[in-house]
């Protein structure tokens, strides 16, 4: 077993990994920036090392500082969480050169899967179903237009090195192509250092279904079933649930085998996620995220598999604790990402001091959080502060439990997207399970959230006025009684 693990991340995912380490008896090291001096994950760790000022480019993204922190503390393993260094093959290579175990996949698998073009070529050769399109980087406008005509508009332009919904643009017709191509290439270059862009057929209103996989260094690899991730805003996931309501048991089994085929083709081990688009009985491999996913807790809730624990065991050279036939699912689980955003200001990030913080509790409730009352939520990183996860015997009861949990979740001093989740959980379309990736715009969800927040704000204001009026009346009555006395 690893003797000490440094977590090259922050917030709730750092706390999550530290908890898994604690249960395995592995001491932990936190690295932190100026903005995170008092963060929960820093308090939780056994050791802490300051690595720079608040901007990620001066702290969490500086490979040399993280490696030096590991060497200084004697950590023989580094867990990257998600984001920052999680899919950085150069960083994984640096770990290996310093005899530090990178708690993730092997570098060749990471390099293959982090290139959408290269991974698509490999998947086609292996017999994995992929989205129709081309497997070449496109830079010429005329070439792009010719390909789009062959495929048929609309098409998608995608950054080969992209991730997190960045570098994806829909092109409706030829007149949009030149401007869109230049825009995506420019964004890809600035975001990922690689301007390679390719073209795929646009699939109208599909489901985004992903399969969790995990393998060990001894050749064993399993899938841990599916997650529905179709509630998205600008290609960013907001709500995930499992199992998906869109796919049949037969399709689920076939997609699971395709996910394993994709992972085995890449020579993959440790945890990863194969993402698919699904529509009308057909499914297409999109990409593989070579890391633990934000939404991994819902898989843990329905299967009982501790994915972070398995990651640590695999990195320590141990075999998986499970075979494919051991993995069973029970009940239904939903995750809501609690983001610090202002619904009345175009959902812009809303950092600030948390003046009140009370988590929901009770049966089937889990909160993965990196915050607490009094914490100054920083403006430098992702706006997600916590994840609210529920489990119940079936989907209707899971939705009702989530509604109750959202009502209980109290966060003061800052704005959050809890009203968004409340609107969705009460929406007939979502409750019926008939939504897809166009769910939010098709059902005017954001507009309804704004209206909902405004109504709550008005009701709160009226309540204060009534309370003030009642207090005034009571004062007059008390004064009158005093005079009469």
Q: Just list the catalytic residues.
A: 291
Which two tokens mark 30?
């936190």
Sorted by sequence, the CB contacts under 8 Å of residue 302 that are 6+ apart come out as 225, 242, 243, 329, 330, 331, 332, 333, 391
Which two tokens mark 248?
């049949």
CA quadruple 158, 160, 161, 164: dihedral positive or negative?
A: positive
The Cα–Cα gap between 171 and 173 comes to 6
Closest CA to 208 of 156, 283, 271, 258: 283
Cα three-residue angle 224-229-234, rounded to 5 degrees: 145
Sorted by sequence, the CB contacts under 8 Å of residue 337 that are 6+ apart come out as 237, 238, 239, 294, 384, 387, 417
**What residues form DSSP beta bridges with 272?**
213
The Cα–Cα gap between 138 and 42 comes to 45
Q: What is the dihedral of CA 110, 105, 304, 337, to 10 degrees?
A: -40
The Cα–Cα gap between 64 and 84 comes to 13
Sorted by sequence, the CB contacts under 8 Å of residue 131 that are 6+ apart come out as 200, 201, 203, 277, 284, 285, 286
Sorted by sequence, the CB contacts under 8 Å of residue 81 that are 6+ apart come out as 7, 8, 9, 13, 14, 17, 291, 292
CB atoms within 10 A of CB 459: 10
CB 413 within 8 A of CB 366: no
Q: What is the DSSP string of 167-196?
A: TEEEE-SHHHHHHHHHHHHHHHHHHHS---
Whose tokens are 């890391």? That residue is: 291
């Amino acid at each position: 077993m690893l003797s000490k693990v440094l977590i090259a991340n922050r917030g709730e995912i750092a706390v999550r990994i530290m908890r898994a380490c604690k249960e395995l008896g592995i001491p932990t090291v936190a690295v932190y920036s100026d903005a995170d001096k008092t963060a929960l994950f820093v308090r939780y760790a056994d050791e802490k090392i300051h690595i720079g000022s608040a901007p990620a480019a001066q702290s969490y993204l500086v490979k040399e500082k993280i490696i030096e922190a590991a060497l200084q503390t004697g950590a023989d393993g580094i867990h990257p969480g998600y984001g920052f260094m999680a899919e950085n093959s150069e960083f994984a290579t640096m770990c290996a050169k310093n005899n530090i175990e990178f708690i993730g996949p092997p570098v060749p698998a990471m390099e293959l899967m982090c290139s959408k073009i290269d991974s698509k070529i490999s998947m086609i050769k292996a017999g994995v179903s992929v989205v129709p399109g081309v497997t070449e980087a496109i830079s010429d406008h005329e070439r792009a237009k010719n390909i789009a005509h062959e495929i048929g508009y609309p098409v998608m332009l995608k950054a080969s090195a992209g991730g997190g919904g960045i570098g994806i643009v829909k092109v409706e017709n030829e007149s949009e192509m030149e401007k869109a191509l230049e825009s995506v290439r420019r964004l890809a270059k600035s975001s990922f250092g690689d301007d390679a862009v390719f073209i795929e057929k646009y699939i109208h209103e599909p489901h985004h279904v992903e399969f969790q996989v995990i393998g060990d260094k001894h050749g064993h690899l399993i899938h841990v079933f599916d997650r529905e991730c179709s509630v998205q805003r600008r290609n960013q996931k907001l709500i995930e649930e499992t199992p998906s309501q869109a796919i049949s048991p037969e399709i689920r089994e076939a997609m699971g085998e395709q996910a394993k085929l994709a992972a085995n083709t890449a020579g993959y081990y440790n945890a990863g996620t194969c993402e698919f688009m699904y529509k009308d009985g057909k499914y297409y491999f999109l990409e593989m995220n070579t890391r633990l996913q934000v939404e991994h807790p819902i898989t843990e809730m329905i299967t009982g598999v501790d994915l972070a624990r398995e990651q640590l065991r695999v990195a320590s050279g141990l075999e998986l604790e499970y075979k494919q036939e051991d993995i069973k699912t029970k009940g239904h689980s939903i995750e809501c990402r609690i983001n610090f955003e202002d619904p009345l200001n175009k959902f812009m990030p809303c950092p600030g001091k948390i003046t009140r913080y009370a988590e929901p509790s009770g049966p089937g409730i889990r909160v993965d959080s990196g915050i607490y009352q009094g914490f100054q939520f920083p403006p430098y990183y992702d706006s997600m502060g916590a994840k609210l996860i529920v489990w119940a015997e079936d989907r209707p009861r899971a939705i009702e439990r989530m509604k109750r949990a959202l009502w209980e979740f109290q966060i003061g001093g800052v704005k959050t997207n809890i009203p968004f989740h409340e609107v969705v959980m009460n929406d007939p379309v979502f409750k019926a399970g008939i939504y897809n990736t166009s769910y939010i715009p098709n059902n005017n969800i954001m507009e309804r959230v704004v209206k909902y927040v405004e109504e709550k704000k008005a009701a709160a204001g009226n309540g204060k006025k009534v309370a003030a009026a009642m207090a005034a009346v009571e004062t007059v009555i008390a004064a009158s009684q005093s005079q009469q006395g």
